[in-house]
Structure 1
Amino acid sequence: MANLSLILSGNDSFGFSTNKTFLQTTLARGLNWTFLPVFSLTILILALLTNGTVLSLFLRNRSLCTAFNIYLINLLIANVLNMLTQVPVFLLNALAGDTWWTGHMTCNLYLYGFIFQTTILQAIMSNSHVLITVNRLWAVLMPLSYRRHHTRGTAFFLCAFMWIWVHAFKMAYLIRDALYFRPPEGQFGCNYNRPAQQGMALVNQYLIFNVPLASMILAYPVICYRQWKRSRRAIVAPQEMQQMRTANTAVTSQHEKTLENPATGTVAGRSMRPTKKPKRKSQAFLVLTCVTISMVVAWLPSIVYYTIILHRKVNWPGFQQAATVLWYVESVIDPVLFTCAVTDLRNEFRRLIRI
């Protein structure tokens, strides 16, 4: 995913030096509050506020932690971790005026959280979106299997497996870079040596980002079609049952009246208990729609751009800036969309703001 420093520098490096004399001069004349640090600080505050608020709603009401909502919690946690590992470190160095002064270890943390399309936490965020699509695909294609086997434990397992799977690919890339290929921060700033592992970079890009996003986009029409067929069956079945009941009403109504026991309130040995309330309609499909739209709008431009630069050198600063801004805004918008889409979550938020 795009590095924010590229918005100003317009090149393929982080552009942070570690010249401490320059750092002292910069700090002496004041912090460099340009667009970049102001924007990143604003996004950090908003992302922590929106994601943190929705996570607190799940903690306040454990009944919200359904099997499906586990995927939402997983995505919110990934958003928070990505913001905490990337933005503060970047902000400290950006305020010093393109000076990387926080050292080698923070550079490793920074690259762990945010280096083009090879970042671990961004890969987890992307694949957390995809898990929601996989869940819905399972639900509509194999509904019996889904109802039988999909539990909170299953959701936890799938989320944990996704974290391990992404780390297995990404950490191999980052560890090799840190041990053998990383250019010295003092001379080249906080960066990674992409050409030294071009083959692995391509595998990571396609396997972790491109294929999951393409699968998500292709699966959505299938899910829409199966959802439509299910809704049609739900409409037709009650109509057929109603016709059968109407045909039998004339015969049974008088008979049941004669057998009614006023003392016990029973009819022909059957208890006259109130019928169960209809099951609330799931909002999972609405959540899936929100997630799919946000992925297409916010992630697709960046994924396309960073796939292209793996194959050829291009310089599209305007496109890159727009793609980066969209991705950052998406981290803020996701929890808002979830709250609007899930009725129970929205009701819990209303109770929270009344306090």
Structure 2
Amino acid sequence: MNKAIPMPHNHSFPIFSEQHDNDFNTTYTANTSVQTTDHPHYTHFVYIWSVLFSLILLSNGSLLYLLITRRHLITSFTIYLFSILVANVLCWCVCMLPLEMVYLVSDNWWMGETACDLYLYGNWLLPGVITSSHALISITRIWAVIRPHSYRNVHTPRLAMALCAGVWISVHLFCLPLLVMDRSFFRQPTSGCRLNLTAQLWSEAYLTVIFYVADAIILLSFPLITYKTIQNSQQHAKLVSPEGGKAPLHYRSKSLVALTAMSVSIAVIWAPNHVVSIVTKYHRAELPDAVWQLLWVVYPLQAVVDPVLFALCLASIRCEVKRLVVKTKAAIYDHVKSVQMRTTTRVSTEIYSVSHQQKRFQVDYSM
């Protein structure tokens, strides 16, 4: 008699990759057969993720279009934004959400090893790029407030591109061995599509450095950057007004506003997920199923919040977004008006044709 051993059906993101596996009712028997029970209460994620997919593609795609077509928007700061937007689209719209929804609905992985590699690439590597890019912004802001003259002289768009490329390359060098070794030696064909973490201790180092340390850099650097920015503004006020006094209200750092919004979003959206991951992992605590479901919804929300916050905080991008919205509305209005005119013309032609035929019929009948 085969004994049923619980086997997780892993619909997960890397920060809580093993802790919630038992939420899904899939069993693995000793003869390697997979028995899956239905869990229709999870299918609502398909609708939620479909909405998130549309919002992520619309918000990130719109800003990418503006940054590509409006060359004057390219600055050393918006290059970091461009890197995050590209990673958001690749992660959530190409690799993660479409495959995740199919995986959830079908309740088993049937799309093959290549699709599984793409799924794990989006599940593990690209979120690391996004997190590290946010940490890179915080590090450059520390540089800007502590050594402002050096920052202005050295930090060029070319250096920003090199730093972003360094983030992408370093995360690939850190994570690709995990994916390659898993594909070559450790992947279990009966476990669907999931990374075999227990076979690779390197995964612990990856999670710690790329996710937990990056979060710490973002959150802990914010008070320092705020303090130094206020101090620099006060020094600026003394230079402008030798009598001293408070900093002028118009002297504000646009990058600080964007960084403030980013730090708040990280604290609200990402940090709770990582804290829950650490607590459940090291203290073996079991959380209610509703908590995991909430985390699955909240985590992709960061990809929607990022472009919205940057668009609201950066005046140049905000103006271009307004112009794009107005232009799009005008194009839609012109298209609708053109369709209405064609429809009116066609209806008028048909009415005239019917009326002409009726007159001919009356003339023929009278004769």
Q: TM-score range by the shorter chain?
A: 0.7 to 0.9
1:62 to 64, 71, 84: 71
SS of 2:242's equivalent in the other structure is helix
Deviations 1:97-148 (A, max 9, x none): x12111111111111111xxxx110111111111111111010111111111
Contact map agreement 1:297 1:326 (CA 8 A) in 2:
no
* Residue 188 (structure 2) aligns with: 183
Q: In 2, Cα distance between the equivalents of 1:180 and 1:14?
A: 25
For residue 228 of structure 1, the aligned residue among 205, 227, 230 is: 230
- Alignment of 1:170 with 2:175, yes or no, is yes
Q: Are positions 1:285 and 2:256 aligned together?
A: yes
TM-score by length of 2: 0.75
Partner of 1:326: 298
The code of the aligned residue for 1:217 comes to L
How far apart in 1 are the matches of 2:11 and 2:260?
Answer: 25
Provide the identity percentage. Answer: 32
* Equivalent pair of 1:202/1:310 in contact (CA under 8 Å): no
Partner of 1:255: none
Which letter does structure 2 place at the counterpart of 1:91?
A: M
Aligned mates of 2:72, 2:12 — CA distance in 1: 39
Residue 163 (structure 2) pairs with residue 154 (structure 1): no
Paired position in structure 2 for 1:110: 119
What root-mean-square deviation, in Å, do the aligned CA atoms of Structure 1 and Structure 2 show? 3.2
Aligned residues of 1:67 and 1:155 also touching (Cα < 8 A) = yes
Mapping of residues 190-205 of structure 1, within 5 Å: 190-197=193-200, 199-205=201-207
1:335 and 2:307 matched: yes
Aligned residues: 304
Q: Of the candidates 34, 38, 53, which is equivalent to residue 47 of structure 2?
A: 38
Trace 1:1-355 onto structure 2 (pairs within 5 A).
Answer: 3=12, 10-11=20-21, 34-83=43-92, 84-96=94-106, 98-114=107-123, 119-184=124-189, 187-197=190-200, 199-240=201-242, 282-316=253-287, 317-355=289-327
Moved more, 282-291 or 153-162: 282-291
Residues 62, 14 of structure 1: alpha-carbon distance in 2 compared, 3 angstrom cutoff: farther
Cα drift, residue 313 of structure 1: 3.8
Partner letter of residue 97 of structure 2? V
Alpha carbons of 1:136 and 1:57: their partners in 2 closer, same or farther (altered >3 Å)?
same
Q: Classify the secondary structure of the residue corresponding to 1:54.
A: helix
Q: Distance in 1 between matches of 2:220 and 2:185?
A: 39
Matched AA of 1:286: V
Q: CA deviation at 1:159?
A: 0.5
Contact 1:40 1:91 in 2 (8 A): yes
Aligned residue in 2 for 1:266? none
What displacement does 1:10 show? 4.8
What is the Cα deviation at residue 217 of structure 1?
1.3
Decide whether the 8 Å contact of 1:123 with 1:166 is kept in 2: yes
Gaps of 5+ in 1: 243-278
Instruction: Name the CA distance, whole Å, in 1 between partners of 2:241 and 2:251.
Output: 20
TM-score (norm 1): 0.78
Structure 2 residue matching 1:122: 3-state secondary structure: helix
Q: Does structure 1 retain, via aligned residues, the 8 Å contact 2:11–2:104?
A: no
Matches of 2:234 and 2:253 in 1, distance apart? Answer: 16
What amino acid sits opposite 2:217 in the alignment?
S
Classify the secondary structure of the residue corresponding to 2:76. Answer: coil
SS at match of 2:268: helix
1:133-191 alpha-carbon deviations (Å, 9 max, x no partner): 1111010111111111100010001000011111111111111111111101xx22112
Amino acid at match of 2:96: Q
